Structure 1
Amino acid sequence: MNPRSSNRRAFLKTALASVPLVTSAETTLAREVGTKQTSHVRLSCNLYSFNEPLMSRQMSLEDVLTFCAELGFDAVDPTGYYFPNYPTPPDNDYLYRIKRKAFRLGLDISGTGVRNDFTLPDAGRRKMEIELVRKWTDVAARLGAPVIRVFAGTGKELPAGYNRVEVTNWVVDALRECADYAAKQGVLIVLQNHADFIQTADHVLEIIQRVKSDWLAVNLDIGSFKIGDPYAQIARVAPHAATWQIKEKMFMDGQEVTTDLTKVIRIVRESHYRGYLPIETLGKGDPKEKVTVFYDKVKKAMEAAD
């Protein structure tokens, strides 16, 4: 055995023995490399910000990529609906054209996503939803996207005749199956809290802890905790986040308020997160203008935290 390799392994064994055990492997890694790695948090654009022009074909996906690159984003996060013929996966010619375009513009593809529902009472339909996620996990792998965003369910109301325990069991089983498949593709399934079936930090954490897979993490949507104090809930979920959605507005005890970006960035730092922060703007107005303004605000908040 190479003496240098032996010494290095001995050093690593000693160093790692001092690392505290935490619930997330990704959080453990962040603690190992240090807590002041601010340069490793970069901005991505969740392309739902351009939903209206993309869906109306006023802008193409390539147009939006060009705009994001020129503004200064490091990455983009295009949801599946913006690819032709969704929910059918795009052919490789189109997919690789977008991948090449992003690369040539200096953009990473930080993730993609689908709109699924694992709370459907019909087991056959839930299987179809799992298959949708599997197909788009393949798309994510071909794009080079490290994560695919999924939902638990799309509605707040439980299916008639079923209780939350039963429906949560369906969600857990479906996510476990998706995560097992995603592990073979090298893609993380990230569960988004979306003020639907998942409304609180407790809802998120129960599912994550029950599935208990290294290939399932959280897409932390800061604007979708609408019950109680959102900052407290974000802080609880943050150690499990593999990606985020940073929004202009949040809900404090059900009332819409302007996001305190200083607080949010502090939580990001304290959770030892390293990766992309996708921003998403909503509501009326020119998305180019809205994204530009919010991009600048988030950048300043990040710089102030350095």
Structure 2
Amino acid sequence: MDTPPPDRRNFLKTALASLPLATVGETPAIQQVLTSPEKSRTSHLRLSCNLYSFNEPLMNGQMTLEQVLTFCAELGFNAVDPTAYYFPNYPTVPDDSYLYQIKRRAFRLGLDISGTGVRNDFTLPNLDRRKAEIELVKKWTDVAARLGAPVIRVFAGTGKELPVGYNREEVTTWVVDAIRDCSEYAAKRGVMIVVQNHADFIQTADHVLEIVRRVHSDWLAVNLDIGSFKLGDPYPQIASVAPHAATWQIKENLFVNGQEVPTDLTKIMRIVRESGYRGYLPIETLGRGDPKVKVPAFYEKVKKALEAID
């Protein structure tokens, strides 16, 4: 008599039982999927629009947030990244009714909300003011959770100069402690904190990597802003930070030895793929010009660069 085949439930139990259990972070198998270039094809990359591209019309009332969402959806974006100050009465948190209106609008347009972000400064010497900045991040982490945004962007500090009377090690410790506090809170809300290199307190890859290393949290990653490494050659710095990125800002121009030049998008997309990154690639256009013209043009360039490396 033939032995009946095992049912699917027992098969899964046997298969799962053979897998090693991880004690901290992702399993080695998951880490391999996340970091292996062979596993990361461009089909796993989705284009998002960082809505700073529409900063002028959003801030002067020429366009509403809802209108920008519609424009992005019709252009073909998979997602949008609306910074917090495009919501009414920032930094005050909007009513849930407004947040859910935006969330519903995005969903009905077929858009994910790939992230949001705040203006903050963790390099302030006054402890009470730093605590207020931490509370700002936490309040908007709650907003990100309600919107369904997987990440919230934060800065280390907004100025290039150190506070008078303090050295970089001291200030870095303030930043690390603040981001660790925010990351612990964000973990409870199911949102990742992503620190952005913004050519301010963070000027080099080593600066951002030191913060990531010292915070040492599964709920902290990098928002890799390719246009904000302004010292030396940005491409090796971008490549060194890329494995730690949970989201990006892809820009038209970057800085080579301090000189602004057009971005080599094919080179950037190779770095993205070789890092094993999967997820959203928000693009951001800057400078003068109509975003209704600039954004579609840059969107097409990024799409072609992705196709060129597939």
Matched, 1:122 2:142: no
Secondary structure, counterpart of 1:277 in structure 2: strand
The aligned counterpart of 1:93 is 97
Matched, 1:53 2:61: no
Shift of 1:38: 1.8
Matched, 1:265 2:269: yes
Matched, 1:160 2:170: no
- Letter paired with 2:288: K
Number of residues of Structure 1 aligned to a counterpart in Structure 2: 298
Query: Which string of whole-angstrom CA distances, capped at 9 and with x for unpartnered residues, describes residues 41-96 of structure 1?
Result: 01000000000000001000000000000000000000000000000111011100
In 1, distance between residues paired with 2:67 and 2:74? 11
The aligned counterpart of 1:136 is 140
Matched, 1:8 2:15: yes
The aligned counterpart of 2:6 is none
Query: Which string of whole-angstrom CA distances, capped at 9 and with x for unpartnered residues, describes residues 217-256 of structure 1?
Result: 0000000000011000000000000000000000001110
The structure 2 residue matched to 1:256, chosen from 260, 273, 282, is 260
Matched, 1:145 2:149: yes
Structure 2 gap segments, 5+ residues each? 1-8
Query: Which string of whole-angstrom CA distances, capped at 9 and with x for unpartnered residues, describes residues 91-120 of structure 1?
Result: 011100000000000000000000000000
Shift of 1:12: 3.2
The aligned counterpart of 1:107 is 111
C-alpha spacing 1:204/1:119, structure 2 compared with 1 (3 Å)? same
Matched, 1:226 2:230: yes
Query: Which string of whole-angstrom CA distances, capped at 9 and with x for unpartnered residues, describes residues 233-289 of structure 1?
Result: 000000000000000000001110100000000000000000000000000000110
Query: Which string of whole-angstrom CA distances, capped at 9 and with x for unpartnered residues, describes residues 146-195 of structure 1?
Result: 00000000000000000000000000000000000000000000000000
Matched, 1:292 2:296: yes
In 2, distance between residues paired with 1:123 and 1:248? 38
Superposition RMSD in Å: 1.8
The structure 1 residue matched to 2:184, chosen from 155, 180, 185, is 180
Secondary structure, counterpart of 2:193 in structure 1: strand
The aligned counterpart of 1:171 is 175
Conserved? CA contact 1:27–1:240, under 8 Å:
no
Conserved? CA contact 1:27–1:271, under 8 Å:
no
TM-score norm. by structure 1 comes to: 0.94
Alignment of 1:40-79 (within 5 A): 40-79=44-83
In 1, distance between residues paired with 2:172 and 2:20? 39
TM-score norm. by structure 2 comes to: 0.93
In 2, distance between residues paired with 1:26 and 1:112? 26
In 1, distance between residues paired with 2:197 and 2:214? 16
In 2, distance between residues paired with 1:300 and 1:162? 47
Secondary structure, counterpart of 2:200 in structure 1: coil
Secondary structure, counterpart of 1:132 in structure 2: helix
C-alpha spacing 1:64/1:165, structure 2 compared with 1 (3 Å)? same
Conserved? CA contact 2:266–2:305, under 8 Å:
yes
Secondary structure, counterpart of 2:159 in structure 1: coil
- Letter paired with 2:90: Y
The aligned counterpart of 2:278 is 274
Matched, 1:241 2:248: no
**Higher alpha-carbon Rg:** 2
Shift of 1:9: 1.8
- Letter paired with 2:82: P
The aligned counterpart of 2:217 is 213
Query: Which string of whole-angstrom CA distances, capped at 9 and with x for unpartnered residues, describes residues 1-25 of structure 1?
Result: x6323321244339xxxx996xxx9
In 2, distance between residues paired with 1:26 and 1:82? 36
Structure 1 gap segments, 5+ residues each? none
Secondary structure, counterpart of 1:13 in structure 2: coil
Instruction: Find runs of 4+ consecutive structure 1 residues off by over 3 angstroms.
Output: 10-14, 25-29, 31-34
Secondary structure, counterpart of 2:247 in structure 1: strand
Matched, 1:81 2:85: yes
- Letter paired with 1:197: F
Secondary structure, counterpart of 1:161 in structure 2: coil
Identity of aligned residues (%): 75
